[in-house]
Amino acid sequence: MNIHEYQAKALLQPYGVPVPKGAVVFSAQEALDVANTLTAPFVVKAQIHAGGRGKGGGVKLVQTSAQVKEAASKMLGMTLVTPQTGPEGRLVSKVYVEEGCAIAHEFYLSLLVDRATARLTFLASREGGMDIEEVASDRILKVAIDPVTGFQPFHGRKLAEGLGLTGSQVNAFAKIVRGVYEAFMALDASLIEMNPFVVTPSGDFVALDVKMSFDESALYRHPDICALRDLAEEDPMEVTASEDELSYIKLHGNIGCMVNGAGLAMATLDIITLYGGEPANFLDLGGGADQARVTKAFKIILSDKAVNGVFVNIFGGIMRCDIIAEGIVDAVKTVNMTIPLVVRLEGTNVDLGKEIFAKSGLPIIAVDGFAAAAQRIVQEVA
């Protein structure tokens, strides 16, 4: 789960991470009121769950509170397109107004889970600012934390020295880095990224931009973090799916996929791609799906306008194929489906399942075998 910049800054501040003073607002008038309580210059920042806002006009540095009002009124309601939003952009419904900060140097600093080493790892670079993706990997310092020892003071010093800091800045920086680590652990984060993390002309550090994500499996321990979820920033179909405990991720193709089990779902995406098709989604029905859930899953798949064929690939282990077949027949009738549907069923009561399809009178294309079924749906949508 991702949160907004203003929320991440508020979460990190108690851990000793310095952030500018500011407040989130929903109207131009509120922006003006907030600016009147802050010291100029000001920064007005669109709050959307995507980076690259600076490039799309979502970050404005201004000198007077009147200009804050003007910038906020332009930003609120605009569809902000950045290199990370895709061409459709994101609607801006709130902006963050904060005190501007003079910048001597912009660093990049993040803490994330490095899957290759299975360790929390700090990444730091002197080349912070907008395009960290473009920075060569040998310009990025990596410091991994051994889970047995946890964070140690030398980790902080190593990062500080690697960034070329000297004197009292080394300890000041190391203290902030420790705070970032403590916040990460205490809040069950999966990513804390500060870009830029700046040093001011007077030598102070400030996290000017913060991105934070959380481990969803641990959210049950953090009701206050769950409350920061902004459903308006998420794909509406993914939100509906998660309400029914369906794992649904929208992809960019035209073949809707309904599968049980995450492994089979991944294999299904692979095999469709292998035969030249393009999956429209990942959808894992889960183990104990009943008829109602199958219907719900169909509705979600079909509500994606890009879908012009559906591939159902089910292995009935715990779940019986006849129950699935009834669910599919029921769903096809309820949603009044008009596009091709290829079904491959295998496992418990598979013959009963096929009989149910045959008797339904619906144009369901039942195909035996994973490869043959995948090839068939690719043909059908071609």
Does residue 129 bind ligand GDP (CB under 6 A)? yes
How many Å apart are CA 229 and CA 225, to the nearest integer?
7
From the list 147, 143, 59, 54, the residue with the least C-alpha distance to 100 is 59
Does residue 130 bind ligand GDP (CB under 6 A)? yes
CA 44 to chain centre: 24
Q: How many residues bind ligand GDP (CB under 6 A)?
A: 18
Does residue 179 bind ligand GDP (CB under 6 A)? no
Q: Give residues with Cβ within 8 angstroms of 137, minimum separation 6.
A: none
Cβ atoms of 317 and 290 closer than 8 Å: no
Q: Which stretch binds Mn ion (CB under 5 A): 88-96, 140-148, 188-196, 235-243?
A: 188-196
Does residue 110 bind Mn ion (CB under 5 A)? no
Candidate residues 30, 98, 193, 209; the one interacting with Mn ion per rule CB under 5 A: 209
Site for ligand GDP in 38-77 (CB under 6 A): 43, 45, 51-54, 59, 61
CA distance to 151, 218, 304, per residue, from 184 (Å): 11, 12, 36
Looking at the chain, list the stretches that DSSP marks H as alpha helix, in order from N- to C-terminal side.
Answer: 5-12, 28-35, 53-56, 65-75, 153-162, 168-186, 223-226, 236-243, 262-274, 291-302, 321-335, 350-360, 370-381
Candidate residues 209, 284, 322, 380; the one interacting with ligand GDP per rule CB under 6 A: 209
Does residue 193 bind Mn ion (CB under 5 A)? no
How many Å apart are CA 60 and CA 47, to the nearest integer?
12
For the chain, give the number of residues: 382
Candidates 5, 6, 30, 108; catalytic one: 108
Instruction: Supply the minimum distance, in Å, between the C-beta of residue 42 and ligand GDP.
Output: 8
The interface partner of residue 43, options being Mn ion, ligand GDP, none and the CB cut-off 5 to 8 Å by kind, is ligand GDP
Tell me, yes or no, if 108 is annotated catalytic: yes
Catalytic residue IDs: 108, 193
Which positions touch ligand GDP (CB under 6 A)?
Answer: 43, 45, 51-54, 59, 61, 100-101, 103, 106, 129-130, 195-196, 208-209
Binding residues for Mn ion, rule: CB under 5 A, are: 195, 209
